[in-house]
Chains A and B, each alone.
Chain A
């Protein structure tokens, strides 16, 4: 009885920790986006929002934004389908938030004789689960566009749906090669496989085994996040997007969904192509360097190393995605479609065949 209760408690704590990590990172990505874009453009960026006169480079800005958004008027247009209009942002938010359940944050943490998996749920179809949930998020876009009962939002929603569905194909296909190499859909297993070494020194990370797959996945994933240069569904600056009729917190949910997608894409990139929580040459008892050295470390330190490695990699990819967003202009709609169907899908098919040929050899 107590055993089950403890198990439940542990899972509960894991959920809370993961969600807090997820949402805090989301909040601070908005800050990072402002600061990074500012640095790129030789500006300072948000540096106000003081608490008791303390500014620390605008670190409280996300909270100020959140408070503002909460207290803004929640305007629902009289001509909209009220229920669906309210539901749409929650659908979008929910299906992205739930994907965090399958992400492995680290290896196994041993406390006493209890082993805790640093992952909320270790699915055997973890990868498919994430892809499926990301695909379901499209309903939020379509419903918001349709229920706003506004021609512009509807076309925005349709653009979004078309784009997301197109890139879903390339996204899935690009991962098939990877699954062929690491024969598992369980994300924890994929990460464990990546702990092995290639030619004795190179970690067996996905980037080295599937370079083409990585590039295709990166492009498709960027399109999946619906941000510049693939921000056709929104096009906040010029073309009118699907959440035009939203305001306040509901609009905020859509915006947060975008940032959460960035994080999920980053965690996926990390987990699939950059070894997840793996630190090169760090085994479960310490470092085993390829040139023969050894550095044995206590278990807790190793787990900390692993979690830190995972976080650093995720942060890097978040940074990279924001860099991309602030570098490139928006694609034209037909260019987006061309890139998806005429380049990425054939390339990913070539990648599958190539992988197959190399593996049989």
Chain B
């Protein structure tokens, strides 16, 4: 640790860090465009100039390494003047079409102009004409006029994906980012380019012109589309009640987490957000049941508890079958384990997960379900559904998740399920599968509830609700805690589970794997 002075304040930093990182740690933001923490410093934008005592010229904060007793000023008159001059050059060729630019609102160039620029342009010359709408990838559009040649995209493709589809062509005022002849940016991480571009040069067709970024609410969540558990930001428009425009998710962005996903997410996670909204079930459906006519979870949990209790006391717990999936959080799986495996001694526990996908060797894994590791750690052995074994001697089936329909044809499922008397489904979606069950209860997705997931590397990550669950949907942990209470076998145990945190705390006591992770 060495001591340096930033704006006269002493700061203790590690040897070998750059001025920019040191200042960031001290809470001082030094404007920068080309520097990205994932890559080594490039020093092409010149926005991060700072004044260092003893240096004749202004130095680049992103690439200058701190030395003992270095005296750095980030806000001196010279620095501010230099920033203004740099901005003026950056904007010399920038088209200023912010009204039609999707980056507006998130744009660092916009922010810095607002903070340090605010000048009238001195240029009388006409701006250079370039390609404004160059399709460089499946969903990416490059606007060379807006580009400030920070080369973040080029470096990303060189260092992260190692595919190198983009490069800087020509020299001087004519230099521009472009694709190599015939190549297009085709890789599973191309979506990150639009995110790391500090201006609106690379925009995403998936988001292009759909809305403006300042309308979007940003919420943290975890991607459930593979077992990596990448940290994401869900950005949604809260809706426009006056024109009957409903709430809508517009894009998913990567959230920095060096342990799991670094700064990136794959395109599967980025563009696959339709699962959040399309075809969601939002009310309890009663297909075949007598006596009950009030459709509230309160009534139904009473009915289910009663039904299971009767089977249990008639020593018929062997007639209960369970279909689980690993989109359930650690807490939920723990509750299932406690209720059905420990208390009721149910043996027929199957798992129905979405079919395997091809891993890409970087972030995307081959399991498209986020909590397989969690299920294993809690003590389940993951048996895929076997329809014959499932139907054999089963009186009552509790099925979670909509993934059964992906594994079997509807006809096979109907044949098997028709042999079972009582069938309850907890599902995210309203599809044909629902018609095969007596009761269908809508449940909340991972983005809509709190809980924790264990990723493929055994990292337990907690998450909080990002969106409102649709309609009557309930989080499964609540459903299970209620069932546990209503069953009455060990109802005291379930009383205290008023939040996923409480359940995780209990898990820490029972399972050594979760001990330090609560």
Chains A and B directly touch (beta carbon < 8 Å) = no
Q: Which residues of B contact A (CB under 8 A)?
A: none
Q: Which residues of A contact B (CB under 8 A)?
A: none
